[in-house]
């Protein structure tokens, strides 16, 4: 009985081994194989997610940590209101569930860790007097920027203006142009451009808001046409003067943008009346319009009985008026 059992176990193992070898051969012979770029991309994702490399996690004293100087959040704006959800969560669970991402600091004295992601978690741990739960990573500045951006992009608790300043700083330090940066962030160039427009708002306009967290992408889009170009010089002056008036007004963001746009003087477009010219015999009708590019557009409506001479006669009559 034992011999039979042993025999069948060995037979089963041989079948499984043969099956495994066959599968490996099929993969080798398969025309659909991951290329080196895809393999590298997958490996990068695994490393960034921490699944490929074991990353140390530990509890540290908040006094041993500092915020990365290129962090995308204005740490001084954090308060009990902006961190209320985390405060409640920490108290309810009795712990910090997700670690902050940090880098080791060399030669920093008592400061051992630099916080890349998790500024609100850091603030909350300090507020509650808890130790800070961290995960240590080895990251370049560009990798740290992208990791921080990915974590915070969908969150509403980081403002459009904070994100815009982060993007502008990253564009200066890590990328050759907006196209390259958009590609690395996996966003469209137009999407990125809208955020960079906020970062370029004049300081007078920024100060008109009671809180930078109330400066929105849409606000910059509405103001942009009036802040660029020599033809908008008067409007730009009016907007900046109004912004100075609004400093320390305490208005909420929607009120500020409304006040700024109220001083804009828009040009009224005067549409030239469309004149239709008719030939003497009534067989030809022409409409001539001047376009913005200084070209002339000719529309001809003719009767079936119309002759070439009728069209030329009416056209010659109108040339002097438009040329």
User: Which H or E run includes 23?
Assistant: helix 2-29
pLDDT at residue 213, as a whole number: 87
Q: Report residue 222 CA to chain centroid gap.
A: 18
Name the average pLDDT for the chain. 80
Judge whether residue 126 has pLDDT over 50: yes
289 has a pLDDT exceeding 60: yes
**Greater pLDDT, 248 or 45:** 248
Q: What is the mean pLDDT of residues 225-230?
A: 81
**73 φ/ψ angles, rounded to the nearest 5 degrees:** -120, 135
- The answer to whether the CB of 117 falls within 8 A of the CB of 128 is no
**DSSP H or E stretch at residue 67:** strand 65-67
The answer to whether residue 267 scores a pLDDT higher than 70 is no
The DSSP result for 249-277, as a single string, is ----HHHHHHHHHTT--PPPP-PPPP-EE
Specify the range with the lowest mean pLDDT, choosing from 12-21, 62-71, 121-130, 243-252.
12-21
pLDDT at 104: 93
Nearest to 100 by CA among 115, 110, 114: 115
pLDDT band at 279 (very low <50, low <70, confident <90, very high): confident
Domains and CATH numbers, the chain: 57-139 (3.90.1530.10), 205-261 (no CATH)
Each residue of 245-266: pLDDT tens digit? 999 999 999 999 999 999 998 7
pLDDT at 51: 44
Question: In the prediction, which pLDDT does 74 show?
Answer: 78
What is the mean pLDDT of the segment spanning 289-305? 74
Cα separation, 127 vs 168, whole angstroms: 31
Q: Looking at residue 72, what is its pLDDT?
A: 76
Alpha-carbon span 220 to 199, nearest angstrom:
9
CA pair distance 209, 254, nearest whole angstrom: 10
**What are the beta bridge partners of residue 57?**
135
Label residue 193 by pLDDT band (50, 70, 90).
very high
- Percentage of residues in the chain having pLDDT higher than 90: 46
* SS3 label, residue 290: strand
Note the pLDDT of residue 285. Answer: 80
Which residues 6+ apart lie within 8 Å of 255 measured at CB?
none
Q: Which residue has the tokens 């137009």?
A: 190
Residue 8: which pLDDT band, with cuts at 50, 70 and 90?
very low
């Amino acid at each position: 009985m034992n011999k039979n059992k042993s025999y069948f176990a060995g037979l089963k193992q041989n079948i499984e081994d043969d099956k495994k070898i066959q599968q490996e051969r099929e993969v080798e012979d398969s025309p659909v194989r991951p290329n080196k770029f895809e393999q590298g991309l997958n490996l990068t994702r695994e490393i960034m997610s921490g699944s490929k490399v074991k990353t140390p996690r530990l509890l540290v004293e908040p006094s041993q940590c500092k915020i990365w100087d290129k962090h995308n959040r204005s740490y001084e704006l954090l308060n009990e209101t902006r961190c209320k959800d985390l405060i409640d969560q920490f108290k309810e669970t009795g712990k910090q569930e997700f670690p902050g991402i940090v880098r080791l600091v060399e030669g920093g004295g008592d400061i051992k860790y630099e916080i890349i992601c998790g500024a609100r978690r850091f603030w909350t741990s300090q507020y509650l007097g808890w130790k800070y739960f961290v995960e240590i990573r080895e990251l370049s500045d560009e990798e740290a920027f992208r990791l921080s951006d990915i974590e915070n992009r969908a969150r509403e608790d980081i403002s459009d203006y904070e994100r815009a300043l982060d993007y502008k700083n990253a564009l200066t330090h890590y990328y050759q142009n907006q196209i390259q940066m958009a590609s690395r962030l996996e966003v469209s160039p137009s999407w990125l451009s809208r955020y960079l427009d906020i970062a370029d708002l004049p300081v007078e306009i920024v100060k008109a808001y009671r809180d930078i967290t109330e400066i929105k992408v849409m606000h910059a889009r509405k103001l942009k046409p009036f802040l660029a170009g020599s033809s908008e010089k008067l409007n730009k002056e009016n907007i900046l003067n109004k912004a100075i008036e609004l400093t320390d007004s305490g208005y909420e963001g929607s009120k500020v943008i409304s006040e700024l746009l109220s001083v804009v003087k828009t040009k009224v477009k005067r549409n030239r009346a469309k004149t239709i010219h008719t030939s003497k015999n009534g067989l030809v009708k022409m409409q001539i319009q001047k376009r913005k590019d200084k070209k002339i557009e000719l529309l001809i409506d003719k009767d079936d009985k119309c002759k070439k001479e009728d069209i030329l006669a009416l056209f010659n009559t109108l040339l002097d008026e438009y040329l």
